[in-house]
Chain A
Amino acid sequence: MGISKTLIEKIKNVLIVVLILSTILLLHFLWNDNPVGDFSIPVLGGERVEPILIKTVMNPDKITVSFGGENYTVIAPSAGDWDSSAAGQGATRGIIQRLQEFSLSGMIMPSGISKSDFNDVIRARSIRADFPFAIPFSEFCTEYNLRGLARIDLIESFTGVAYSEASPNSVFFFNMQEDKYYRLAANEADTDFDALITDIERRDKASFYPLRMYSGVENEVMIPLDMQIAMAQIPYSNNADAVSSDEDDETTGMAKKLFGSSFDFTRKIIEGNGTMVYMYGYGEMVLVVNRDGSFEYSASGRDSNGTVSFFEALNIALDFISRHGALEAHGQTPERMYLKSVEFNPDRKGYRFAFGFKIDDYAVHYLNDEALIVETSGSQAIYFKWDLIEYQAAGAYTAGAGDEAEREALRPFDLLAENFVSLFGVLREHIIVNESENPDEEENFNSLVSTEVMFETVVQGVSDVSAGYLRRETGNANEIIGLSRGAVNIHEEDSTGQIEKLLPVWIFTIMGVDFYFDLYEGDLVGYTP
């Protein structure tokens, strides 16, 4: 018997459905001019990317509070001290919120003031926030909605902002890089900065004093007398062993994210030392994956017609970082990240942003590079370098946990006093090497100098003192290793022969050179010119 009529009808039904779908598909190719080979079913959902917000990463380096009578403290800004909108609901209003209130105080008169006037004002009950980089003033006012201040064109850029009870209707902006100080005075201001000062006063904190009080040498940099700190050596890994040419590897996954659909037509080169280079076209996009686990990506930028603003460029950089998942791939989070330095490149009409990471408010320092760098040109990111490490989550090293119990760190002034001769020697070597850049200081360094002059020179040159972690490099014991930026790593081999631990250190910045001292043992473990 032949095929039954019912079966034939069923076949016809299926055929009609198939032909209708194929007609739709063919019309899609014909009308949209899409090559058949490029057709693909769109992916629904996809990977959700959490943006990194400016307020998460752009915070002051430190907040210095004077309680009057030469009593000071310096705190790492906790969530909310600078911008309470970053801390969430219920947080005490931060400095930004009080600046916003101040900016609505009606007529505001700007004026330049001298350094000594500024220092006098700050000695009274006051609060100041310092950034390690300069921020364009008018863009800052626009970004943070300081409407009443945006019209002020006296201030081009600033590195910090302060309030003092000695001048309660004013706020102060200053640029430490250019040695410029400004006072913005309102007729009447109801900003209530004092409440913030009182709030900090009530916290458990260390006492700081200006360096001049310890040394008799003029220097307003704050350093603590004593500090109980719970910091221990923290083991870390940098995924160096995970770098391979395996197509399923995380490394390749990162390359695919950067190159997108071009990845499959990209040149891949593997060097004898294990370094991998991915190159698209004639070098329009290049990714170098180093054997030590660091990555470096560069793209030839399109000719940019105009410069984007500081904050627009920062948003471009943060967007680039979040879209390519560099943080997640190394177990890092945006909350640990902070903006460390900013440079403007006029040739490229863009910025170079360097980011660092923190553990429990203590910055992790690298001897020979930065953790994460993004360069922008116009509206695109053209360079992205990252050398991230993984370590245990914040809070794992708090007081009371075995070896990590709080203990007294060596006094930073004592370290300075005991080591000023060797510090001077390093500075002399550095200054002579760069003699064309420091002609005024060369005289001091080239002649035989007394210990008093050495001491004074070193102390006067101190621009910052802080505690943090140092990422050292592996190598032979008791060997001074010259690293790529001229940094010097001085270390001793530990019992395992491996040195992949973050070391708690005091960091002294003296004439642009960072010196690292073991926080508890006092040894000089490295420096970075």
Chain B
Amino acid sequence: MDWTKAKTILIIALLVSNVTIIVTYIFDLQSKENVDENLIREILEDANVIIETELPDYPKRMAVLYVQPEHEDRKAVMKVLEAQTRADISLSSESEIDANIEAANRIMKECGYLTKNTELSLPTYEKNGETLIKYRNVYDNIPIEESSIICAVKGGRVLSLEREWYSPVELHDKRGEIMGALEAMIMLLPDKDESETLIIKGVELVYWVNSEGAGVESPVADTALPAWKITDSMGNDRYVTAYRQR
């Protein structure tokens, strides 16, 4: 028997079978995901959950993010706010909104809060005649919630600055499987009134520090878990931990 020829044929056969198995596995996985997705959409529809937003792409695996709560120096902030001069306040920009944003940016910089993790969040909001400008906390392009700075600005003058901030420290070295946004919406159903119609206007993957339920008063270190932030038509935000339950 020509063993050389037999080995060559065997190698080719094994290669072909390996490729076939890999392709079958991938198709199987994708069709399973599609089936799961269709099933989930049906369940959500039956539960009066209406999705009026695009579902974002997301990484399949993520690690938890260790963070450090930051406590601001109120006196230093007040000093900066009080030191605003007429020249600072003059409306040099074309629109009032732009001028207000410019003012907020300036104050943020003076307070040392404009860092690589800080991202302006648009649009701005109006409340009691004041423009509220929000800055998000972002790590690796993923927002950290519930962590933000809100400046109240009027006529180019920053009236107040409220800061809830977590400094990102580092990612844990192990990553866990992340479920899709649709699966996360299923988790909302147990707390939802059956007759209530829930219209979902926004879905976003975030790092989330749950401020409730820990029973801890003044932490010096905490952990942000990957979570889906789901915003409804009333503007309410709900968070669902994104790790697939084991």
Q: A264-B172, A279-B214 are in contact. Are A16 and B21 (CB under 8 A)?
A: no
The distance in angstroms between the C-alpha atoms of A271 and B221, with both chains bound, is 7
Q: Assess whether B176 is in contact with A26, with CB atoms less than 8 Å apart.
A: no
Q: Assess whether B18 is in contact with A22, with CB atoms less than 8 Å apart.
A: yes
Which single member of B28, B60, B177, B241 contacts A282 (CB below 8 Å)? B241
Which single member of B14, B17, B214, B241 contacts A269 (CB below 8 Å)? B214
**Main SS of chain B's interface residues?**
mixed
Interface check B11, CB cutoff 8 A: yes
Q: A30-B28, A261-B246 are in contact. Are A16 and B11 (CB under 8 A)?
A: yes
Q: Assess whether A245 is in contact with B243, with CB atoms less than 8 Å apart.
A: no
Binds A, one of B2-10, B50-58, B88-96: B2-10
Q: A15-B11, A16-B10 are in contact. Are A270 and B220 (CB under 8 A)?
A: yes
The distance in angstroms between the C-alpha atoms of A15 and B12, with both chains bound, is 10
B62 nearest in chain A by CB position? A265
Q: Which residues of the other chain, B, contact A90 by a CB distance below 8 angstroms? A: none
Q: Assess whether A19 is in contact with B220, with CB atoms less than 8 Å apart.
A: no
Q: Which residues of the other chain, A, contact B220 by a CB distance below 8 angstroms? A: 270-272
Q: Assess whether B61 is in contact with A270, with CB atoms less than 8 Å apart.
A: no
Q: Assess whether B176 is in contact with A277, with CB atoms less than 8 Å apart.
A: no
Q: Assess whether A19 is in contact with B216, with CB atoms less than 8 Å apart.
A: no
Q: Assess whether A267 is in contact with B218, with CB atoms less than 8 Å apart.
A: no
Q: Which residues of the other chain, A, contact B7 by a CB distance below 8 angstroms? A: 9, 12-13, 16
The distance in angstroms between the C-alpha atoms of A345 and B7, with both chains bound, is 70
Q: Assess whether A265 is in contact with B222, with CB atoms less than 8 Å apart.
A: no
Q: Assess whether B21 is in contact with A281, with CB atoms less than 8 Å apart.
A: no
Interface check B140, CB cutoff 8 A: no
Q: Which residues of the other chain, A, contact B31 by a CB distance below 8 angstroms? A: none
B11 nearest in chain A by CB position? A15
Q: Which residues of the other chain, B, contact A9 by a CB distance below 8 angstroms? A: 4, 7
A29 nearest in chain B by CB position? B25
Q: Which residues of the other chain, A, contact B63 by a CB distance below 8 angstroms? A: 264
Q: A37-B177, A270-B221 are in contact. Are A277 and B214 (CB under 8 A)?
A: yes
Q: Assess whether B216 is in contact with A269, with CB atoms less than 8 Å apart.
A: yes
**A29-50 vs B: 1/0 string, CB under 8 Å?**
1100001010000000000000
Q: Which residues of the other chain, A, contact B10 by a CB distance below 8 angstroms? A: 16
Interface hits, B184-240 → A, CB 8 Å: 210, 213-223, 225
A261 nearest in chain B by CB position? B246
Q: Assess whether B61 is in contact with A26, with CB atoms less than 8 Å apart.
A: no
Interface check B121, CB cutoff 8 A: no
Interface check A268, CB cutoff 8 A: yes
Interface check A306, CB cutoff 8 A: no
Interface check A283, CB cutoff 8 A: yes
The distance in angstroms between the C-alpha atoms of A267 and B61, with both chains bound, is 17
Q: Which residues of the other chain, B, contact A26 by a CB distance below 8 angstroms? A: 18, 21-22, 25
Q: Which residues of the other chain, B, contact A16 by a CB distance below 8 angstroms? A: 7, 10-11, 14
Measured as residues with beta carbon below 8 angstroms from the partner, the interface class of chain B is: 35 or more
Q: Which residues of the other chain, B, contact A267 by a CB distance below 8 angstroms? A: 64, 210, 214, 222-223, 225
Q: Which residues of the other chain, A, contact B241 by a CB distance below 8 angstroms? A: 281-282
The distance in angstroms between the C-alpha atoms of A95 and B177, with both chains bound, is 57
Q: Assess whether B18 is in contact with A23, with CB atoms less than 8 Å apart.
A: yes
The distance in angstroms between the C-alpha atoms of A283 and B214, with both chains bound, is 8
Which single member of A30, A275, A283 contacts B21 (CB below 8 Å)? A30
Q: Assess whether B14 is in contact with A268, with CB atoms less than 8 Å apart.
A: no
The distance in angstroms between the C-alpha atoms of A245 and B14, with both chains bound, is 50
Interface check B127, CB cutoff 8 A: no
B215 nearest in chain A by CB position? A277
Interface check A262, CB cutoff 8 A: yes
Which single member of A15, A264, A266, A272 contacts B218 (CB below 8 Å)? A272
Interface check A401, CB cutoff 8 A: no
Q: A245-B221, A269-B223 are in contact. Are A277 and B14 (CB under 8 A)?
A: no
A17 to chain B, nearest CB (A): 10
B223 to chain A, nearest CB (A): 4
Interface check A20, CB cutoff 8 A: yes
Interface check A483, CB cutoff 8 A: no
Which single member of B21, B28, B213 contacts A23 (CB below 8 Å)? B21
A195 to chain B, nearest CB (A): 57
The distance in angstroms between the C-alpha atoms of A245 and B222, with both chains bound, is 12
B22 to chain A, nearest CB (A): 6
Interface check A27, CB cutoff 8 A: yes
A5 to chain B, nearest CB (A): 8
Q: Assess whether A283 is in contact with B14, with CB atoms less than 8 Å apart.
A: no
Q: Assess whether A19 is in contact with B11, with CB atoms less than 8 Å apart.
A: yes
B233 to chain A, nearest CB (A): 25
Interface check B174, CB cutoff 8 A: yes
Q: Assess whether B174 is in contact with A264, with CB atoms less than 8 Å apart.
A: yes
Q: Which residues of the other chain, A, contact B172 by a CB distance below 8 angstroms? A: 264
Q: Assess whether B25 is in contact with A30, with CB atoms less than 8 Å apart.
A: yes
Q: Assess whether B17 is in contact with A23, with CB atoms less than 8 Å apart.
A: yes
Interface hits, A165-217 → B, CB 8 Å: none
The distance in angstroms between the C-alpha atoms of A268 and B219, with both chains bound, is 10
Q: Which residues of the other chain, A, contact B225 by a CB distance below 8 angstroms? A: 265, 267
A391 to chain B, nearest CB (A): 32
Interface hits, B1-51 → A, CB 8 Å: 4, 7-8, 10-11, 14-15, 17-18, 21-22, 24-25, 28
30 A–B contacts from the bound complex (CB under 8 Å): A12-B8, A16-B7, A20-B14, A23-B17, A26-B21, A26-B25, A29-B25, A30-B24, A35-B177, A37-B60, A264-B63, A264-B176, A265-B174, A265-B225, A266-B64, A267-B214, A267-B222, A267-B223, A267-B225, A268-B66, A268-B223, A269-B221, A270-B219, A270-B220, A270-B221, A270-B222, A272-B218, A277-B214, A281-B245, A283-B213
- A-B CB proximity, top 8 nearest: A19-B14, A264-B174, A270-B221, A26-B21, A267-B223, A265-B176, A12-B7, A272-B218
